[in-house]
């Protein structure tokens, strides 16, 4: 089954497109229904390159983050108000993510990516905005994090290739080569980003006492007995409640990965495997938000 052309897609999904346009807040950016429909069609073609039934397409469209998709579309179209909103709401998160993966070099990494999002090369030449590759399957901030991590990985790989010519650092280069041989691919970077997003939401939804135990045990590396003295509980009780909340978090993360990102059971297992080995997945950062109240 071939992928539908835009006219066929628009006719088949007309009512849903109208609803998604209203839901997305596209009018805030003076974004027409046709402009959003083109973005939805591009996303659908990316998801179903070999074609899909009208029902499958409709179910897919209903899962998209259409507010973020409308914002990205408006930004690509050069809407000033949309870019102002993007800078205020997303640039701080971009810098925070860059700092977490690049340390002191975070500004160069973040600014370089921001230029790509805006559609300008490092040499100042105009080109297609990186936002053209955002399809709305994850939140925009999650997608930006995954792209940023991949940019950092690419830069490290390039550095590794250059360093391999340094004969005075042969042993260090060999160590780096082994490290980069296992460097995650773009799919892994996306898996880590969506796992981070789901984990963020799962922990935010917890009871304050549960978050406190997690923060003390994992974030501050206290023993069960030390946590119990702070919470007024026996260490066996602390252990039992930590086991329960870990199971709750896993169930919630699995639910979010299915509902918001369309992952199958096998894909969730693979996502967890990537996340378990990811230094850029920040459990301690999330737990540091868990105050008593």
Q: Per-residue pLDDT tens for 74-112?
A: 999 989 999 999 988 888 877 877 777 677 777 777 887
- pLDDT greater at residue 150 or residue 197: 197
CB atoms within 10 A of CB 186: 13
Same domain flag for 72 and 125: no
Across the chain, mean pLDDT equals: 78
Same domain flag for 89 and 71: no
Domain count for the chain, please give it: 3
Of 44, 76, 108, the position where a domain reaches its end is: 76
- Is residue 26 situated within a structural domain? yes
- pLDDT greater at residue 254 or residue 269: 254
Same domain flag for 63 and 103: no
- pLDDT greater at residue 10 or residue 150: 10
Same domain flag for 161 and 209: no
- Is residue 241 situated within a structural domain? yes
Model pLDDT for residues 189-221, shown as the tens digit of each residue = 677 778 878 888 888 888 888 888 887 887 667
Same domain flag for 47 and 115: no
- pLDDT greater at residue 260 or residue 172: 260
Which range marks the domain in which residue 236 is found? 186-287
Of 165, 181, 197, the position where a domain reaches its end is: 181
- pLDDT greater at residue 4 or residue 73: 73
Q: What is the pLDDT of residue 69?
A: 95
- Is residue 293 situated within a structural domain? no
Of 59, 76, 93, the position where a domain reaches its end is: 76
Same domain flag for 99 and 160: yes
- Is residue 70 situated within a structural domain? yes
Q: Cα(94)–Cα(68) distance, rounded to whole angstroms?
A: 15
Q: Cα(245)–Cα(213) distance, rounded to whole angstroms?
A: 9
pTM of the full predicted structure? Answer: 0.57
Exposure of 282 in the CB half-sphere (CA atoms within 13 A): 14
- Is residue 160 situated within a structural domain? yes
Same domain flag for 255 and 200: yes
CB atoms within 10 A of CB 292: 10
């Amino acid at each position: 089954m071939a992928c539908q052309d835009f006219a066929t897609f628009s006719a088949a999904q007309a009512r849903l497109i109208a609803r998604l346009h209203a839901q997305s807040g596209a009018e805030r950016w003076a974004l027409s229904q046709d402009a959003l429909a083109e973005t939805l069609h591009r996303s659908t073609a990316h998801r179903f390159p070999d074609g899909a039934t009208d029902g499958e397409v409709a179910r897919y469209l209903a899962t998209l983050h259409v507010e973020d998709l409308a914002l990205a579309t408006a930004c690509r179209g050069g809407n000033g108000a949309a870019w102002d909103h993007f800078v205020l709401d997303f640039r701080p998160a971009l810098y925070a993510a860059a700092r977490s993966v690049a340390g002191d070099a975070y500004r160069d990494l973040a600014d370089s990516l921001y230029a790509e999002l805006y559609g300008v090369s490092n040499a100042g030449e105009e080109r297609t905005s990186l936002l053209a590759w955002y399809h709305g399957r994850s939140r925009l901030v999650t997608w930006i994090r995954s792209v940023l991590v991949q940019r950092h990985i690419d830069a490290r790989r390039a550095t590794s290739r250059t360093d391999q010519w340094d004969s005075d650092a042969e042993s260090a280069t060999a160590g780096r080569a082994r490290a980069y041989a296992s460097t995650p691919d773009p799919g892994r970077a996306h898996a880590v980003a969506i796992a981070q997003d789901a984990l963020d939401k799962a922990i935010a939804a917890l009871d304050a006492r549960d978050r406190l135990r997690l923060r003390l045990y994992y974030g501050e590396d206290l023993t069960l007995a030390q946590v119990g003295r702070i919470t007024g509980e026996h260490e066996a009780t602390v252990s039992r409640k930590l086991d329960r909340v870990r199971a709750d978090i896993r169930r919630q993360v699995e639910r979010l990965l299915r509902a918001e990102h369309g992952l199958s059971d096998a894909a969730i297992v693979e996502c967890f495997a990537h996340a378990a080995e990811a230094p850029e997945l920040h459990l301690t950062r999330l737990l540091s938000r868990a105050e008593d109240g």
